[in-house]
Amino acid sequence: MDSSTTKSLSPDSNGPLFLGIDVSTQSTKASLLSSSLELLSELAINFDRDLPQYKTSGGVLTGSAGSGEIHSPALMAVESLDLLAEKILAAGWPTQRVKAVSAAGQQHASVYWSRRAPEMLRSVNGSKRLVDQLGSQAFSRAVIPNWQDSSTTAECKAFEAHVGGPTALAKITGSKAYERFTGPQIMRWRREEPEAYEQTERIGLVSSMVTTLLCAGGEGQDGEEIKGIDESDACGMNLWDLSTPERGWSRPLLELVAGGDAAAADELARKLGAVESDGGRIVGRIGRWWQEKLNFSPDCLVCPATGDNPATLLSLALAPREAMVSLGTSDTLLIPAPSFEPSEAFHVFYHPARVAGSNASESEEGGQGEVVETSSRYFNMLVYKNGSLAREAVRDKYCASSWREFDRAVRSAWPGRDSVPQHTGFYWFKEEIIPPNAKGVHLYTSSKDGQWSRAEEFEAPATHPHSIISSQLLSFKNRVGAILHENAGSDNEGGLVRIHATGGASSNQTLLETMADVLACPVVRPQQQGNACSVGAALKARWAWERATKPGRERVAFDVCVEEARKEGEAAEQGGQKVKLAAEPDEARTDCWRRFLPTWEELERRALRGE
């Protein structure tokens, strides 16, 4: 669905509606759902195109060569909401019927509210644009780190050393140290700009900033103008301790980041604020700005916004050993997990739709009979920086910017029965996350006797498209194997049983067919297209509304609520969230990739050593 209204907005002209907003790397998007979860309409604001005054490219500003800095202006996200509001008005969305709103934000990116921010947020009204009412005065840091930033290597080392190494840090926070994670980012900024840090009232994430702006100018929020960080999103900070049932900000890590005595750590904990562990709790009602500007009802509820990947996870119901792959600016793989099993090789996040207080059920014996839970309590995630933009760079350089040529090149290089690939490559245009800190382009070709050697260039330029996507997918295969404890030597034993593909590049059939071959399982796409991330946020709003307004449903699980709402939709023949098969593995090619995987793993190690 593109940025225009594509469906009738009134399957039931008085029915409740639910809104999800997604503030991501390159754009802000909104999805409007009916109460039976039909996607009615979507709108989008593209940062580079619609907000050219911020001079971003791909939504970001890049620092000097070698600095690793990738930032974006805090006010750009605010102004994108002004433009979104204008589009909502122009499209005639019936906002007075919206019963609840939730949002999603780029993960890890931090937002720094100034001392004046609470007062400014309190007085926001519909007479002027948000950006004009808040302006730079509301923030103590004008340019905020983007998730692609890799400028905090020294701080990451300090994090790991402070707690006894990468595995120890993963056991506390669910991840080893990553440059883009918020804790190392705050630490660097505090050192570089101690005064601005001192002048900071609160530190949030993009998600909590959007929750805050949704409630701005609302009634009775004294002291609560700035909304708390959502727990799932807090797991992307390297600061949140998941290792105990109580969970909370990790004291040793706060001390490290705050760089001082116990009082400094206390002050950092205060700046970070209380965390929202119940993703469906009502944290406020929609604020005056939205009511006056867009005619939202004062009763419209707001629940915590979460990260863009956790929200994307919510857009689909995944069965055990199913994964979701989101092919966007970053490529991410999301796999629901029943328990907290941290590792250096991937992330563990708290599930974004858990009912508070269900923690007691974490011990197998639980015994808390009436506790209602989502089917998975955590999820695992893999994130690659060189996703769509890397594929596009290869398309532009070797295929005259044509996807048709790119696809043709991929298909003509697919391996045949009993054949072995003769080339592969690693395209780390941006310093990669997996494997950590990998840089540059590394190409390898094989001689007839199976010896692999480094190549400056492939003989045929058309080899690149196949080389990049097969290599990206082999990396997925290798890392998913670690998450699922897959038995790599055998026929996909213990591997994935199905992949749900979403995101812009999931419209590329050749990519999905190659994915089915390499990952050795079918690939499906949601039948109802749309922006999975803002749809996931809108589903969360629907769930929060059900819990807040329907007696006896206060603790209903997210999965149950969504499934029941969809069934109502099906009964009314409005369609539910179904999937359609996009690709099935070809036996011969799958076999070839399975045999090639160990060679590829060795070549990745060589590429990392620069050999």
| Residues at the site binding ligand XUL, with contacts judged by CB under 6 A | 24-25, 106-108, 147, 180, 236, 307-309, 330, 332, 383
Length of the chain (residues): 611
Q: CB 121 → ligand XUL: shortest distance, Å?
A: 24
Backbone φ, ψ for residue 91 (5° rounding): -80, -10
User: Which residue lies nearer to ligand XUL by CB, 150 or 309?
Assistant: 309
User: Which residue lies nearer to ligand XUL by CB, 118 or 236?
Assistant: 236
User: Which residue lies nearer to ligand XUL by CB, 44 or 98?
Assistant: 44
Q: CB 329 → ligand XUL: shortest distance, Å?
A: 6
- What is the DSSP code string of 414-444? S--TT----EEEEEESSPPTTTTT--EEEEE
- Give the Cα separation of 145 and 187 in Å (integer): 12
Tokens 């519909």 — which residue? 126
Q: CB 80 → ligand XUL: shortest distance, Å?
A: 14
Q: CB 571 → ligand XUL: shortest distance, Å?
A: 36
- Please give the single-letter amino acid code of residue 313: L
User: Which residue lies nearer to ligand XUL by CB, 112 or 346?
Assistant: 346
Helices (H) and strands (E) in the chain, counts: 21, 26
Strand partners, 249: 240
User: Which residue lies nearer to ligand XUL by CB, 316 or 583?
Assistant: 316
Q: CB 182 → ligand XUL: shortest distance, Å?
A: 11
Q: Which two tokens stand for residue 218?
A: 């609302």
User: Which residue lies nearer to ligand XUL by CB, 107 or 506?
Assistant: 107
User: Which residue lies nearer to ligand XUL by CB, 38 or 149?
Assistant: 149
- Give the Cα separation of 232 and 227 in Å (integer): 15
Backbone φ, ψ for residue 385 (5° rounding): -75, -35
Q: CB 231 → ligand XUL: shortest distance, Å?
A: 15
User: Which residue lies nearer to ligand XUL by CB, 203 or 603?
Assistant: 203
User: Which residue lies nearer to ligand XUL by CB, 20 or 585?
Assistant: 20
- What is the DSSP code string of 300-341? -EE---EEHHHHHHHTS---TTEEEEEESSSEEEEEEESS--
Strand partners, 172: none
User: Which residue lies nearer to ligand XUL by CB, 174 or 287?
Assistant: 174
Q: Among 550, 482, 472, which residue's Cα sits nearest to residue 518?
A: 472
Q: CB 312 → ligand XUL: shortest distance, Å?
A: 9
For residues 548-563, one letter each, b for 16 or more C-beta atoms within 10 angstroms of the residue's C-beta and e for the rest, the string is beeeebebbbbbbbbe
Q: CB 514 → ligand XUL: shortest distance, Å?
A: 22
Tokens 């080893």 — which residue? 176
Q: Among 225, 229, 224, which residue's Cα sits nearest to residue 205?
A: 229
Q: CB 245 → ligand XUL: shortest distance, Å?
A: 25
- Give the Cα separation of 228 and 249 in Å (integer): 13
Q: CB 307 → ligand XUL: shortest distance, Å?
A: 6
User: Which residue lies nearer to ligand XUL by CB, 382 or 523?
Assistant: 382
- What is the DSSP code string of 535-587? HHHHHHHHHHHHHHHSTT-TT--HHHHHHHHHHHHHHTTS--S-EEEEE---H
- Give the Cα separation of 471 and 388 in Å (integer): 14
Q: CB 148 → ligand XUL: shortest distance, Å?
A: 8
- Give the Cα separation of 396 and 375 in Å (integer): 43
